[in-house]
Amino acid sequence: MKHTILLIAVLCCAAGCSSMGVQPWDRDILAKAEMQLTTDELEAATDDHIYFSKEASSGGRGFGGGGCGCN
């Protein structure tokens, strides 16, 4: 059931995507540094690593923070 809802949500999104968006000349705001999904790569990597070593979850945004025998 959970998977069906997810699939429907993804399909609706995919169908709706073609009508969303802006023209190339309307990208002034989206092009700003503060509007990028990851504004500070180093800070994001720091947080991923801290939370990877203190919690049982990791990743999501990308590949998450591993590569340590954290205690």
Partner 1 sequence: MGLAAAAAAATEESALSQKENAAISAALAAATCSLLGTTIPASVDAQETADWDFNTSILYYGEDNDRVKDYSVKAIARRMFVDDRSLSLGMTVDVLTGATPNGAIRQDVPQTFTRPSGNGFYTVAAGELPLDDTFKDTRVALTANWQQPVGETSLVNVGGSVSKEYDYLHLGVNAKIARDFNQRNTTVSAGFAYSMDDLDPVGGAPAPLTPMLDVGDTSNRTGDKDKDVLDLVVGVTQVISRKLVAQVNYSYSYSDGYLTDPYKVLSLVDGTTGDTLLRSGAIPVEGGPSHQYLFESRPDDRSKHSLYTQGKYYMNGKVLDISYRYMTDDWEIDSHTLDLRYRWPLAGDHYIEPHVRYYTQTEAEFYLLSLDESQPLPEYASADYRLGDFDATTLGLKYGWKTRNDHDMSVRLEWYQQSGDVPGGQIIGNQAGRDNYPDLDAIIAQFSYRF
**Residues forming the site for partner 1 (CB under 8 A):** 6, 10, 13-14, 17-18, 20-24, 26-30, 32, 34-35, 37, 39-43, 45-46, 50-51, 54-64, 66-69, 71
Look at phi and psi of residue 33 and say left if phi exceeds 0, alpha if psi is from -120 to 50, else beta: alpha
Tell me which residue has tokens 């059931």: 1
Buried-exposed string 45-59: b where 16+ CB fall within 10 A, e elsewhere = eeebbeebeeeeeee
- CB 1, min distance to partner 1, A: 14
- CB 56, min distance to partner 1, A: 5
Residue (1 or 17) nearer to partner 1, CB: 17
